[in-house]
Structure 1
Amino acid sequence: MTLLPGVRSATVDTDRLRMHYLEAGTGPTLVLLHGNLSTGRFHEHLMPALAARFRVLAPDMRGFGDTEPKALDATRGLGDWADDLHALLGALDLSEPPHLVGWSTAGAAIATYARQWPVASLTFLDPVSPYGYGGVFADGTPAHADYAGSGGGGANPEVVARIDAGDTSADSPFTVRSMLRALYWSPSFTLPAEREDILVAEVLKTLTGPDGYPGDATSSPNWPGVAPGTRGILNALSPKYCHWADIVDLDPKPPILWTHGTADLVVSDASPLDFGVLGAGGVVPDWPGADVYPAQPMVTQIRTVLQEYAARGGSVRMEMFEGSGHGPHVDAADAWLAVLQDFLPS
């Protein structure tokens, strides 16, 4: 594994699982947590600059990368990820409250962590909604009691098949390379070819199946016919199990930075991955209508919860990155890094 200068690769046995992580620098602990279908290497390019002030860690979370492939209990939401992170910090003898950055799925993980252990700060990077992903109204109320339309059953089976086949091509919209280009970054952004190859290879390490991506599923009498199971990452993101709106109750309240790309197609008020949007567009037939199954206003939900956090005495900084996609830390890396550096204490 060829890494950027100053970045090291290591593996440690914790009391929960064997975890692989990247590390750089010395000083206060700063942890960069990746999201779904990614690994710690999606943060590697940020680490040399941050290493001047922090001991930076970018672990591969359960189900991804070179960390031991163990099943994820979706009924705990992102509780397994939060506990795994705490076990990692313990194994490395890092006891001071860490600064946590959570991208996408990991937004729920860092919020879950902060409900259990002290943190120095929280940075939400295009996080999953505080009410999970799919099938809820603006206030988090589920469209159906069984949370139909969320969880592992919503994954495209061709995506899983292409990962299992180790497909590095862009021959289909459902290959890893095509999804990186279409969903992760701004359409106007192009990764250097060597870097894109590295990130494609990282995603292809994903643990697939009922214990990993996408997870298991159950049938439902409610539209669109599938409901969440109990295992794997997409079920952990279902509103049935994933909810971090209660972050407003934290006491004390760590400072929060929320950064988001305005052209994010994954976490959006009109995401093309949301069954409410797919139904309204006729892509999934027999949509019951917006009064029964609306598009989930994910960004609005994030903003509302963080505004309440501020109203209750917390410090919140919000930064929108115009034209950026789901990963402004990549497609607007310099600008995003400057915001993070300014937010973190000197």
Structure 2
Amino acid sequence: MTTNLIIPGITQHTIKTDRLTVAYLEIGTGASPIVLVHGNCSSSLFFQDFMLELAATNRYTIYAPDMRGYGDSEVLPLDATRGVQDFSDDLDAFVRALELPPFHLLGWSLGGNVVMQYAIDYPGTLRSLTLEAPGSPYGFGGTKEADGIPIWPDYAGSGGGTANPDFVQRLQQGDRGSDAFSPRTTMNTFYFKPPFHVSPEREEIFVSSINSTRVVPGNYPGDLTQSSHWPNIAPGTQGVNNALSPKYLNQGNFAQCQVKPAVLWLHGADDQIVSDTSFFDLGFLGQIGAVPGWPGAEIYPPQPMKTQVRTVLDRYHANGGHYSEVALPDCGHSPHIEKQAEVVKIFTEFVDDHS
């Protein structure tokens, strides 16, 4: 990674774990360790300003790894039939390689699903768990109702084939333009709530971060199979978008976690990616006429993603866990960037209460 992508004060390292070589950012010398896990089509670079603000308190040491296939970490095929467990196991290998004591864990977007899986798979290692704009625990696409009921038996409408092919092509080309479907336009339209913009310098860093996504077999977006059910594409078995398919990802058992760390759920009230009316959900796109042949709301309604998150967290609470929800007004999919000062305050108060 070129040095001008790293903001002064933050250092980048690599560490060889027993699963892969991981690139990560680090700052701070405080007693409480914090690990930040990024989302799909991004990398640790999206956390830099947030990390600087956390480090300024002198209470934390902050680590932000790049997941496999993103940023400067090693590219390895992702076995989607395990859901996001490859990512969860990678995270475990990372924190063991660093010999971290119990730590605070935040996951953003796809990272939210990864950290939920980590809490399920590795009980007793967390001081607290923060879900920032997490995907539904019942996967992305292909389900309905609060309990994540599959719409079709083959989970059509989810998986590697749901990625916009124009965006995938531009990502593969490292496009830095501002046309429709470019990484830059996608970010400014959907990662943030328009008309929010970061500075020109940060925008270039973020575009580089998005373009670090490796468009290769086994990584992004993943393979697909044909389906006789609308919209005629179903999940394959490799790559990140298939790992997020409800065919393989069902985190309803988060409510029965063996050890239940306190959970903070942070999300933007105007998120267009993780939403009950998501512009990345084929059910909603069919409803608004953007995808032809939609069979109607009785058969294929929009996926109620936030309702599904809340349902699982309510069950987590009913089973003895504790969670708090903060919905930030006038905010999209990236609260730690769009509402940085507010999120730093909310997050540090939460972390300090559980240190």
Q: Please give the range of the TM-score, normalised by the shorter of the 2 chains.
A: over 0.9
* 1:251 CA displacement: 2.8
**What residue is the counterpart of 1:106 in the other structure?**
111
Does 2:21 align with 1:18? yes
Q: How does 1:330-345 map to 2 (within 5 A)?
A: 330-345=337-352
| Pairing partner for 1:296 from 266, 288, 303 | 303
Unaligned runs of 5+ in 1: none
**What residue is the counterpart of 2:67 in the other structure?**
61
Does 2:306 align with 1:287? no
Q: How does 1:238-317 map to 2 (within 5 A)?
A: 238-317=245-324
Does 2:211 align with 1:204? yes
Letter of the aligned partner of 2:26 in structure 1?
A: E
* 1:318 CA displacement: 0.6
Q: How does 1:10-89 map to 2 (within 5 A)?
A: 10-26=13-29, 27-51=31-55, 52-89=58-95
Q: Give the conservation status (yes or no) of the 8 Å contact 2:192–2:338.
A: yes
Once residues 202 and 271 of structure 1 are traced to their aligned partners in structure 2, the CA distance between those partners, rounded to angstroms, is 23
Q: How does 1:74-153 map to 2 (within 5 A)?
A: 74-94=80-100, 96-117=101-122, 118=124, 119-138=126-145, 139-153=147-161
Secondary structure of residue in 2 paired with 1:69: coil
* 1:49 CA displacement: 2.4
Q: Give the conservation status (yes or no) of the 8 Å contact 1:98–1:120.
A: yes
Secondary structure of residue in 2 paired with 1:344: helix
Letter of the aligned partner of 2:198 in structure 1?
A: L
Letter of the aligned partner of 2:117 in structure 1?
A: T
* 1:195 CA displacement: 0.4
Letter of the aligned partner of 1:92 in structure 2?
A: L
Q: Give the conservation status (yes or no) of the 8 Å contact 2:172–2:214.
A: no
Once residues 52 and 277 of structure 2 are traced to their aligned partners in structure 1, the CA distance between those partners, rounded to angstroms, is 35
Unaligned runs of 5+ in 2: none
Letter of the aligned partner of 2:177 in structure 1?
A: S
Letter of the aligned partner of 1:320 in structure 2?
A: A
- Percent identity over the alignment is 46
| TM, length-normalised to structure 1 | 0.97
* 1:252 CA displacement: 2.5
| Pairing partner for 2:239 from 219, 232, 235 | 232
Does 2:198 align with 1:191? yes
Once residues 254 and 170 of structure 1 are traced to their aligned partners in structure 2, the CA distance between those partners, rounded to angstroms, is 42
Secondary structure of residue in 1 paired with 2:336: helix
Q: How many pairs does the alignment contain?
A: 344
Root mean square deviation of aligned Cα = 1.1
Residue-by-residue CA offset, 1:17-55 (whole Å, 9 max, x unaligned): 111000011222211100000000111111122222121
* 1:253 CA displacement: 1.1
